[in-house]
Amino acid sequence: MSRLFNAYVIVDWSAAAKPTTGADSVWIGVMKRDVRFRLTFEAFNPPTRAEAEKRLNVLLDDFRKRSERALLGFDFPLGFPRGFAAALNLPGEAPWRAAWDQLDRMVKDKPDNTNNRFGVGSEINRRMTGGPFPFWGCPPKDALTTLQPKRTREHGPGDLPEFRHADAAAKAASIWKLYYNGSVGGQALLGIPFVRRLQAARGEGFRIWPFETGFRNLSETDLAGVEVVAAEVYPSLYKAQPGPGEVKDLAQVRATAEHFARLDESGKLGAVFGPGKALSPEVAADAEREEGWILGVEG
Mean pLDDT per 10-residue interval, the chain, length 299 residues: 92 97 97 87 98 98 96 98 98 96 98 98 98 98 97 96 98 96 95 98 96 97 97 95 92 97 97 94 98 94
Query: Is 140 exposed, middle or buried, given 0-12, 13-18 or 19+ CB atoms closer than 10 A?
Result: exposed
pLDDT at 87: 98
pLDDT at 33: 87
Beta pairing partners, 44: 28
Residue 246: how many other CB atoms lie within 10 Å: 13
Helix (H) or strand (E) segment spanning residue 28: strand 27-33
Strands 70-74 and 206-208: unpaired
pLDDT at 1: 58
Cα dihedral 121, 9, 53, 13, rounded to 10, equals 30
Please choose, from the candidates 81, 47, 61, 299, the residue with its C-alpha nearest in 3D space to the C-alpha of residue 184. 81
pLDDT at 88: 98
pLDDT at 222: 97
Q: Whole-angstrom Cα distance, residue 276 to residue 266?
A: 18
**pTM, 2 dp:** 0.97
CB 151 within 8 A of CB 160: no
pLDDT at 10: 98
Please choose, from the candidates 169, 297, 292, the residue with its C-alpha nearest in 3D space to the C-alpha of residue 231. 292
Nearest 5°: CA angle at 258, between 253 and 259? Answer: 100
Q: Where are the alpha helices (DSSP H) in the chain?
A: 49-65, 84-87, 95-106, 117-128, 165-170, 185-202, 248-265, 269-272, 281-286
pLDDT at 165: 98
Nearest 5°: CA angle at 194, between 23 and 12? Answer: 25
